[in-house]
Each structure stands twice: as C-alpha cells, then as structure tokens.
C-alpha cells in the first residue's frame, strides 16, 4: 500500500495524488510511488486520462534536500538516474495527462508537472527551478523538458537565476496552458481530461507517441514515426468504428470501444 502517492479512478479519469505534507517533497519513497502509480495508470484499461494533483494548497515544492545533502558523487549519480526514471514514468503514460497545480511547483515538483501533456494552474501558483541556488542544476528532466517547452533562452533565464514565476508570466511564456482560481484547478483538469474518456484510446496513444518521439529526431525521421503509427491504427477496431460511423452518420458520432 502506497503511503504518499495514490491512484484513484473515477469515470474514466485516473488521479495520481501526491500527499506528503506539508510540501509534498519528493524523497525517494515519493518518487518510487509516483512511478508505480504511473505504471498502474498505464496498464489499467479503466483509465482513459490522467490528472497529477498535489492537493488544494501545494503541488510539490521540490526534492527532499535533507536526503541529498550528504550524498557522494556515486550516490548522487544513482539518485538522479532513479529520479529521471521515476518522473519519466509520468511522461510515458500513453494517455492524455494534465498536471493540476496549486501553490508551489518547484524543482522536482515542476519537473513532474513538465512531464504531463498539459498544465492547469491556480492564479496563486509559483513555479521555478531554484536548484542553482543550492549549487546544482535541475536533474529530473528540468533542463531538457523546460527548454523544449519554452525555448532555450527562457529556460536558461529560469535555470540560471533560480527565480520563481507567477501564473501570469508562466502562461505568457508557455510554461502553463491555463490559469484558473485555485479552488477550480482540479475541476478544470477534470473537464479537460473528461474529453478523452469516450475517445479512440489507441489513436490518442498513437498521436502522443508520434508527437513525443518526433520531437527527439529530425523531420524526416519524425515523419516515419508518424507513418508507422498511422498505419498501425488500421489494425484496430476503433478505426473501423470511426470510419463506418463517419460514412453513415457524419463526423463526431462514433462510439469507440478503445480496441
């Protein structure tokens, strides 16, 4: 039984909930439980979309610094390899994912949010990667996912200075996708996720794979990934259902099965 990270499933939406008061600091146990919850969400056929949520007051305020303060080089190498793997488990969920952020999302906490497909934040949110103020750099994907999301210049500004950005600036630079009142964050995430609970799950997974894998290669290689994912969908029941429904009833009326 997980102590700090749980997966709750309701109406096709899986909520990965971080709950390690007071600030949801990401110690090793939290990281491991996060990976386990992400894998459970991946294989559970009842989960069609995923929300990552830290609660009403805070998303996650970074790594557990006390845990890493006395690490040796070798221990730090092992820790960061584990952290990258654990956070990557969220990005590898082949379903639409959204981070619902209230309060602080800092360091490793922001790196978890960056691993989602979308970020919805409260207008009280503070986001940043302040590791430079500790004499280190982001190590859970922050330098890579952040630069891919907002561009290298903005990423360097945030990483070099370690400063926090508020919700307004985060929206302006493309770090987040939607800003709402803090009390509305989870419901806004549910509204977004609910769009996909009756969708063509295998096609959505193929689209996510094509986009994510394509970003890591040149255009021609990315087009090959897209072509492979496109062709593979012709082996699915949803492709037959979707096309037959379009022919008979027009667009947007198919009743997909997820197969």
| Distance of alpha carbon 100 from alpha carbon 109, whole angstroms | 12
75 is catalytic: no
Residue from 111, 178, 187, 248 carrying the catalytic annotation: 111
CA angle 153, 68, 70 (to 5 degrees): 125
| Distance of alpha carbon 173 from alpha carbon 168, whole angstroms | 9
Residue from 8, 92, 131, 168 carrying the catalytic annotation: 131
DSSP assignment of 47-59 equals: -SEEEEE--SS-S
Cβ-based burial of 135 (10 A; exposed 0-12, middle 13-18, buried ≥19): exposed
CB contact at 8 A, 192 and 95: no
131 is catalytic: yes
Backbone angles phi, psi at 242, to 5 degrees: -65, -45
| Distance of alpha carbon 255 from alpha carbon 259, whole angstroms | 11
Catalytic residues: 111, 131
């Amino acid at each position: 039984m997980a102590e700090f990270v749980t997966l709750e499933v309701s109406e096709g939406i899986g909520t990965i909930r971080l709950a390690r008061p007071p600030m949801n600091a990401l110690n090793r146990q939290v990281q491991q439980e996060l990976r386990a919850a992400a894998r459970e969400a991946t294989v559970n056929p009842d989960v069609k979309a995923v929300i990552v949520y830290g609660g009403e007051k805070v998303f996650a305020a970074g790594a557990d610094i006390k845990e890493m303060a006395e690490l040796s080089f070798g221990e730090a190498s092992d820790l960061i390899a584990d952290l990258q793997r654990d956070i990557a488990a969220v990005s590898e969920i082949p379903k639409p994912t959204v981070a619902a952020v209230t309060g602080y999302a800092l360091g490793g906490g922001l790196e978890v949010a960056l691993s989602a497909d979308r970020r919805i934040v409260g207008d009280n949110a503070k986001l940043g990667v302040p590791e430079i103020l500790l004499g280190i750099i982001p190590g859970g994907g922050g330098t890579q996912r952040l630069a891919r999301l907002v561009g290298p210049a903005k990423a360097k500004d945030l990483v070099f200075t370690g400063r926090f950005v508020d919700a307004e600036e985060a929206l302006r630079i493309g770090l987040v996708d939607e800003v709402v009142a803090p009390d509305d964050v989870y419901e806004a995430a549910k509204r977004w996720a609910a769009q996909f609970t009756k969708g063509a799950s295998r096609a959505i997974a193929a689209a996510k794979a094509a986009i994510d894998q394509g970003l890591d290669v040149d255009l021609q290689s990315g087009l090959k990934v897209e072509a492979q994912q496109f062709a593979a969908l012709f082996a699915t029941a949803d492709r037959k259902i979707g096309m037959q429904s379009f022919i008979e009833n027009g667009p947007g009326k198919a009743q997909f099965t997820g197969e």
